Amino acid sequence: MKSAEARSEATKSRVGGKTLLNQRIFLFGMVDKKTAENILKIYEDAWVNQDPEKILSIFTEDSVYHEKVLQKPYVGHEQIKQYWQSKVVEEQSDIKFKLLNYYIEEDIIIAEWDASFFSNEKNGRVHIIEVAIMEISENKIKSLREYWQSEVLPP
């Protein structure tokens, strides 16, 4: 894992006839293992327990959620909550989730999981393998892009 990168910005200001050098340091976040595991555990719990409020706790207010990357994303808590209510709470039940792998690179978490659920829409059990790319800001998901393949399992 690389160390966090910093960028500084210097500005000058005049106060009481003196020139002061103001320096701001911007730290480009490194997601640590504990934060990544916490986000992934809350994601799992929110999905398995079909809890839209819990899922919002790990997203920034202005987050962008791409469930299907070639379609319009859900932006902000209100749209994400509506999506979870309709897709997870109303269409899915008996959800099983297994985290297979995760990787951290600076402010990105890449996670791979295997899941299954009963789909009311498809009237059968769906198996899904997914890779999720999560951009993290202040220990919350700023952007999520999901890439997945699913199949309806035989009865």
pLDDT digits (tens, 9 = 90+) for 77-120: 999 999 999 999 999 999 999 999 999 999 999 999 999 999 99
Does residue 149 surpass a pLDDT of 90?
A: yes
Q: Sorting pLDDT into bands at 50, 70 and 90, what band is 53?
A: very high
What local confidence, expressed as pLDDT, does residue 69 receive?
87
Looking at the predicted structure, is the pLDDT value of residue 11 above 50?
A: no
Q: Which residues of 107-127 are buried (b: 16+ CB within 10 A; e: fewer)?
A: bebebebebbbbbeeeeebbe
27 band by pLDDT with thresholds 50, 70 and 90: very low
- Do 10 and 22 contact (CB within 8 A), yes or no? yes
94 close to 65: Cβ distance less than 8 angstroms? no
Residue 28 has pLDDT above 60, yes or no: no
Sign of CA dihedral 117, 118, 120, 122: positive
CATH architecture of 31-152: Roll (3.10)
| Rg of the chain over all Cα atoms, to the nearest angstrom | 20
Whether the per-residue pLDDT at 14 is higher than 70: the answer is no
CA distance 103 to 113: 12
